[in-house]
Amino acid sequence: MRKLGLYFLAILLLVSLAPVGNIVKAQGTYHESPMLTALVEAGELPPVEERLPANPRVVEPFKEVGEYGGAMRMGFVGNNPGWGGLWYVTGWENLASWAPDFSGVVPNIAESWEVSDDVREYTFHLREGMKWSDGAPFTADDIMFYIEDILFNEELSPAGPSADWLPREGAAEFRAEKIDDYTVKFIFANPYGTFLYTLPQWNGRHITWFPKHYLSQFHADYNPNVADLVAETEGAEDWVSLFNIKASGPTEDTNNYFNNLERPLLFPWIPTSVLGGSTEMNMVRNPYYFKVDTEGNQLPYIDEVVGVSYQDDEARNLALANGDIDYIKDATGREFFFDALDSGAPLAMSFWNDEAGNTNSIHFNFNTQDTVLAEIFKDINFRIGMSHAINREEIIEIVHQGQGTPAQVAPLESSPLYNERLATQYIEYNVDLANEYLDKVAPERDSDGYRLRPDGERLSFVLSVPNSEAWQANWVSVGELLVGYWEAVGVEVLLDAVAADVMTERREQNNYEATIYTGEGGAGLTPILQPRYYVPGEYDSLFGVSWFYWWAGAQDAVTIEPPQEVKDLRLKFEQVGQQPTQEAQIAAMTEVLNIAADNFWVIGISRPGNGFQPYHERIGNFPDQWIHGWGEGVEKITYPEQWYLKQ
Amino acid sequence: MILTVWIITVIAFVVIQIPPGDYVTNMVSEMMSQGSDRIDPAVTQQLRDQYGLNDPVYVQYYKWMKNIVTEGNFGYSLTFRRDARVLILERLPMTFLLTSSSVLFVWFVSLPIGVFSAVKQYSIWDYIATFIGFIGVATPNFLFALILMYLSYRYGGRALIGLFSKEYVNAPWSWARVADLLKHMIIPVIIIGTSYTAGLIRTMRANLLDELKRPYVDAARAKGLPETRLIWKYPVRYALNPFVSTIGWALPGLVAGEVIVSIVLNLPTSGPVLFEALKEQDMYVAAGFILVLSTLTVIGTFISDVLLVILDPRIRLE
């Protein structure tokens, strides 16, 4: 296996506040897919010059200028095409996007932007003449419709204005102004220095998501007769649920758009059939898509996308090795694919660098219902002892095929936020040292050699682990090894592998003692964007998930008010996002990471090795190396609109 | 009959609701397993209101049943965001095609073999037939499916997955598409069928052996009736009784067997949808499928009763 350097991450995001995209205007006329030329000649479509904005987004092909045509077949597991993988390839167009090397934020739907000195005001310039997939213009009115009629509508947003990109603090004072048809100004209550980083991410998707010309018919403020539409729509109880069904938002799952074929989109491909009776659904190129390549060819290159539903991974893997499908997201079965590659399957292989800081994070629930256990978990000596008891080299060898090095959950060495203490403290495998620390917490032992808690009970807890294999995770295998290591130092652990939705339920009910989860927050500035293991109060800060629910004001879940020092730390973190400059953000976050190192919230195992991505060899312009992660848009950072099918 | 179906729907609906969590919990888990890290609790709450998941089970059941009886409306699929009825109707034809082909396959194979084994009892062919039949029973369907998939990949150059080649999946019906379907149906039919053939072979063999010892057979033989005609006309006809009455229990068995095979082979039948619906707690689809399938099973039992009466007039008298 090739070891890939992470060198290009080092320069990450250091020069990125100014727009740096390719705003090279293509010379001469534009070109289009022969499929669309036919439609133009038949008089069903306006010519390409009229369909593209005045200043289209220019994408530089990763390897070469591609050829038009073909149908790409994407396999996914289950019944949800979007979450199964198509969202990441055929959707996800936001105001801004990541540069392909993750070196900064570049313009996408927005042509350019200006930021005020106090980082409270952001002015976005949209592309003149840009259109939705039905040909209607996309303008500032669409964004204003979202802000004024959805975000600030009391019925659609009953808990007040709440969005992934809007800080909770001062959300009600947020304002947007329409300067002209192609200019919108966002004014935040507080300085918001990290706003631009949220734009390319999932959190930024809603800003350009709502076509006003289509959706106003489902909005009570615009259509007094909306009740008629409610009555004739299956599954709609009132206009709010009708709006959510038709718009796939604000509260409805975004990926529900795959079930609504009439909804205009800004994406490269739009769905033309829904998944149902057969195992396939279809998508076709958006004739109004706003991007061109460096030679003025309107993107995407690929005419059609077919989503193929599978019931399990094995059938999907086999289909890819067969050449029946071209691409799958989250491939499992490393050995299978490398064997297939060697035996001549029509595959190509790409390697990705994981953005994560660790393969796993081990969480002890500080708020667990058993209060004696909770006190032990809160004792840092307990966690230090448990960390020293882990044989990380063995886990790397057995579970991760020898890939990676022992580490705690921490920013990567290449990140400007790298914190050596956070990354390397307590990683030594040393049973004596582990016992020394644990003796400070629970020195007494029973006749079987297990430690005793202060109340005389055996020190024993349940390690609840999701048995899901999303993102090539190996939580159960890691958990099995941990049980053995911890037994060796006198702590009894019962491994409980549960389905992912059972684990969700337990989070809401605060009904778990310890768990294992992912290790996000490694590359570049991702520790600021995904601080879940460095600060409490994030959804995946599983060492105190009930604190998160308290901050979020949840009604369905158990909420616990955090102690003052945790609240203070959270406040400190929120100030990071308010810093105007990158240097100031890094300085503020470094302080937060030092506190994280003092607290040692979670235990990590190892730095992630390289991931692998098999794909059909006929796909062109797929990168050989890329940065892979949720924050990067998974496949979206590879710009799937410039993939093409070799004929 | 209606009472039976009604009881089944109540049980189905209640059982679906027993596991912790609901469809929204499941949706949140799915979003999380993709990496989404900010799921606002206010959103989940609003979704639960929107889907009516906050109502007690009996209210949900009442609404569901009322809509079925008064409007023929099976409710709304939370996963597919569509009318559950449409979904069920789309999937049922393939399920029935597959199941009925399997029943025919089972009969076609087990009847002659059963007769043959009985007539040539303890011969080498009897042992071979029995042996193959038992292997069919003993091999789990999914394993058999995987083995056949592997063999078709290894020796046929490609794995036969699905019910159609990729050119025909969404194509309109044509002779070429039918031919393609038949080609793909062979493997699933064999897999689903084999596990039932052995049982029927044994039943047939045992029944026929009983009959063959009766005096009327000897009498017929003594009168010089040709052996083939003798066996097929009299003892086989009596031995068929249990055969026909098995339709009732064979149907649900085949439908259940179909679920696993369809998942492994990726077939567009009701099995995978039902399975996913149960997993994701998409209760209207799950309950709808169970309702339809159980109704059909009850009807199947009824048909087998009627057939039995036709076949054996003695039953009518009792």
Model confidence pLDDT, tens digit, residues A578-615 = 888 888 999 999 999 999 999 999 999 999 888 899 99
Q: How far is residue A572's CA from residue A344's CA, in Å, rounded to a whole number?
A: 55
Q: Residues B181, B93: contact at Cβ < 8 Å?
A: no
Residue of A361, A372, A365, A474 whose CA lies nearest to A422: A361
In sequence order, the β-bridge partners of residue A123 are: A114, A185
For residue range A58-71, what is the model confidence (pLDDT) as tens digits? 999 999 999 999 99
Query: Chain A interface, mutation test: which of B29, B39, B258, most A Cβ atoms within 10 Å?
Result: B29
For residue range B178-217, what is the model confidence (pLDDT) as tens digits? 888 888 888 888 888 887 787 888 888 888 888 888 888 8
> What is the rounded average pLDDT of the residues A8-21?
39
> Could you give the C-alpha distances from A77 to A74, A153, A187, A280, A312, in angstroms and in order?
10, 37, 42, 12, 6
Percent of all residues in chain B with a pLDDT value above 70, rounded to a whole number: 89
Is A277 in contact with B83 (Cβ distance < 8 A)? Answer: no
Q: How far is residue A592's CA from residue A569's CA, in Å, rounded to a whole number?
A: 7
Q: How far is residue A424's CA from residue A408's CA, in Å, rounded to a whole number?
A: 6
> What is the rounded average pLDDT of the residues A370-382?
95
Q: Which two tokens stand for residue A173?
A: 């004072």
pLDDT at A13: 41
Is B169 in contact with A311 (Cβ distance < 8 A)? Answer: no
Backbone angles phi, psi at A58, to 5 degrees: -95, 125
Q: How far is residue A455's CA from residue A512's CA, in Å, rounded to a whole number?
A: 20
Quote the Cα angle for B71-B73-B76, to 5°.
150
pLDDT at A208: 96
CB-CB neighbors (< 8 A) of B265 in chain A: 315
For residue range B25-76, what is the model confidence (pLDDT) as tens digits? 777 776 666 655 556 777 777 777 777 777 788 888 888 888 888 877 887 7
Termini Cα distance of chain B = 21
Q: How far is residue A110's CA from residue A207's CA, in Å, rounded to a whole number?
A: 11
pLDDT at A470: 60
Distance from CA of A49 to the nearest CA of B (A): 34
Q: Residues A200, A94: contact at Cβ < 8 Å?
A: yes
Print the SS3 string covering B239-258: HHHHHHHHHHHHHHHHHHHH
> What is the rounded average pLDDT of the residues A328-341?
87
CB within 8 Å of B143: residues ≥ 6 apart:
none
Q: How far is residue A435's CA from residue A490's CA, in Å, rounded to a whole number?
A: 8
- Chain B residue with minimal CA distance to A241? B50
pLDDT at B33: 63
For residue range B209-231, what is the model confidence (pLDDT) as tens digits? 888 888 888 888 888 888 888 88
CB-CB neighbors (< 8 A) of A319 in chain B: 159, 161
A2 pLDDT higher than 50: no
Enter the ipTM: 0.71
Dihedral of CA atoms A427, A431, A433, A439 in degrees, nearest 10, equals 120
A371-385, B244-258, B259-273: range with highest mean pLDDT: A371-385
Termini Cα distance of chain A = 30
CB-CB neighbors (< 8 A) of A508 in chain B: 25
Residue of A426, A421, A410, A414 whose CA lies nearest to A520: A410
Average pLDDT over all residues of chain B? 79
A469 pLDDT higher than 70: no
pLDDT at A607: 93
In sequence order, the β-bridge partners of residue A466 are: A498
For residue range A564-579, what is the model confidence (pLDDT) as tens digits? 999 999 999 989 988 8
A20-24, B227-231, B309-313: range with highest mean pLDDT: B227-231
Q: Which residue has the higher pLDDT, B249 or A182?
A: A182
Q: How far is residue A484's CA from residue B37's CA, in Å, rounded to a whole number?
A: 31
Least confident interval from A217-226, A320-329, B121-130, B156-165: B156-165
> What is the rounded average pLDDT of the residues A356-371?
93
Query: Whose structure tokens read 């009892």?
Result: B121
Distance from CA of B56 to the nearest CA of A (A): 16
Q: Which two tokens stand for residue B150?
A: 């592997």
Q: Residues A330, A634: contact at Cβ < 8 Å?
A: no
CB within 8 Å of A634: residues ≥ 6 apart:
A88, A329, A628, B35
Q: Residues A1, A352: contact at Cβ < 8 Å?
A: no
Q: How far is residue A277's CA from residue A280's CA, in Å, rounded to a whole number?
A: 9
Is B33 in contact with A324 (Cβ distance < 8 A)? Answer: no
Dihedral of CA atoms A200, A206, A207, A209 in degrees, nearest 10, equals 110
Average pLDDT over all residues of chain A? 89
Query: Whose structure tokens read 């009894």?
Result: A492
- Chain B residue with minimal CA distance to A73? B166
**pTM for this model (two decimals):** 0.80
Q: Residues B265, B187: contact at Cβ < 8 Å?
A: yes
Is A234 in contact with B82 (Cβ distance < 8 A)? Answer: yes
Q: How far is residue A145's CA from residue B249's CA, in Å, rounded to a whole number?
A: 59
Q: How far is residue B261's CA from residue B272's CA, in Å, rounded to a whole number?
A: 9
Residue of A497, A430, A436, A486 whose CA lies nearest to A458: A486
Query: Chain B interface, mutation test: which of A166, A255, A278, A475, most B Cβ atoms within 10 Å?
Result: A278
For residue range A151-171, what is the model confidence (pLDDT) as tens digits? 999 888 877 888 889 987 888
For residue range B282-301, what is the model confidence (pLDDT) as tens digits? 878 888 888 887 887 788 78
Q: How far is residue A413's CA from residue A433's CA, in Å, rounded to a whole number?
A: 27
Selecting from A241, A251, A277 the residue whose C-beta is nearest the C-beta of B91 gives A277
Cα Dmax for chain B: 87
Selecting from B149, B166, B170 the residue whose C-beta is nearest the C-beta of A318 gives B149
pLDDT at A270: 97
Q: How far is residue A320's CA from residue A346's CA, in Å, rounded to a whole number?
A: 9
Residue of A635, A647, A644, A643 whose CA lies nearest to A92: A635
Percent of all residues in chain A with a pLDDT value above 70, rounded to a whole number: 95
Residue type, A75: G
For residue range B69-116, what is the model confidence (pLDDT) as tens digits? 887 788 778 777 778 888 888 888 888 888 888 888 888 888 888 888
For residue range A494-546, what is the model confidence (pLDDT) as tens digits? 999 888 778 888 988 899 999 999 888 888 888 998 899 999 988 889 999 99
pLDDT at B315: 67
Is B41 in contact with A555 (Cβ distance < 8 A)? Answer: yes
Query: Chain A interface, mutation test: which of B81, B258, B281, most A Cβ atoms within 10 Å?
Result: B81
Backbone angles phi, psi at B65, to 5 degrees: -65, -40
Tell me which DSSP letter residue B121 carries. T
Residue of A91, A61, A532, A100 whose CA lies nearest to A352: A100
Indicate the burial class of A542 (C-beta count within 10 angstroms; 0-12, 13-18, 19 or more).
buried
Selecting from B26, B166, B265 the residue whose C-beta is nearest the C-beta of A501 gives B26
pLDDT class for A121, splitting at 50, 70, 90? very high
Residue of A628, A576, A604, A443 whose CA lies nearest to A167: A576
Residue of A202, A149, A148, A191 whose CA lies nearest to A167: A191
- Does residue A250 have a cis peptide bond before it, meaning omega lies within 30 degrees of 0? yes
Q: How far is residue A371's CA from residue B175's CA, in Å, rounded to a whole number?
A: 70
Helix (H) or strand (E) holding A476: helix A475-487
pLDDT class for B158, splitting at 50, 70, 90? low
CB-CB neighbors (< 8 A) of A92 in chain B: none
Selecting from B76, B161, B170 the residue whose C-beta is nearest the C-beta of A280 gives B170
pLDDT class for B302, splitting at 50, 70, 90? confident
pLDDT at A485: 96
B264 pLDDT higher than 60: yes
User: What is the number of other CB atoms lying within 10 angstroms of the CB of residue B261?
Assistant: 24
Selecting from A252, A318, A504 the residue whose C-beta is nearest the C-beta of B28 gives A504
Q: How far is residue A377's CA from residue A366's CA, in Å, rounded to a whole number?
A: 6
Q: Residues B236, B117: contact at Cβ < 8 Å?
A: no
Query: Chain A interface, mutation test: which of B26, B28, B31, B32, most A Cβ atoms within 10 Å?
Result: B32
Q: Residues A327, A347: contact at Cβ < 8 Å?
A: no
> What is the rounded average pLDDT of the residues A401-429?
93
CB-CB neighbors (< 8 A) of A313 in chain B: none
Distance from CA of A551 to the nearest CA of B (A): 10
Q: Which two tokens stand for residue B99?
A: 């199941």
Q: Residues B184, B160: contact at Cβ < 8 Å?
A: yes
**What number of residues does chain B have?**
318
Least confident interval from A84-88, A369-373, A510-514, B166-170: B166-170
**What number of residues does chain A have?**
647
* Paired sense of beta strands A327-328 and A492-498, if any: unpaired
The sheet carrying A121-126 orders its strands as A110-115, A121-126, A183-187, A175-180
pLDDT at B208: 86
> What is the rounded average pLDDT of the residues B132-140?
81
Distance from CA of B285 to the nearest CA of A (A): 12
Q: Residues A512, B20: contact at Cβ < 8 Å?
A: no
pLDDT class for A261, splitting at 50, 70, 90? very high
Selecting from A276, A318, A505 the residue whose C-beta is nearest the C-beta of B87 gives A276
Print the SS3 string covering A483-516: HHHHHCCCCEEEEEEECHHHHHHHHHHCCCCEEE
> What is the rounded average pLDDT of the residues B236-242?
77
Is B82 in contact with A274 (Cβ distance < 8 A)? Answer: yes
Residue of A127, A147, A150, A151 whose CA lies nearest to A139: A127
Is B40 in contact with A552 (Cβ distance < 8 A)? Answer: yes
Is A470 in contact with B86 (Cβ distance < 8 A)? Answer: no
Is B46 in contact with A158 (Cβ distance < 8 A)? Answer: yes
Is A324 in contact with B161 (Cβ distance < 8 A)? Answer: yes
Q: How far is residue B50's CA from residue B222's CA, in Å, rounded to a whole number?
A: 79
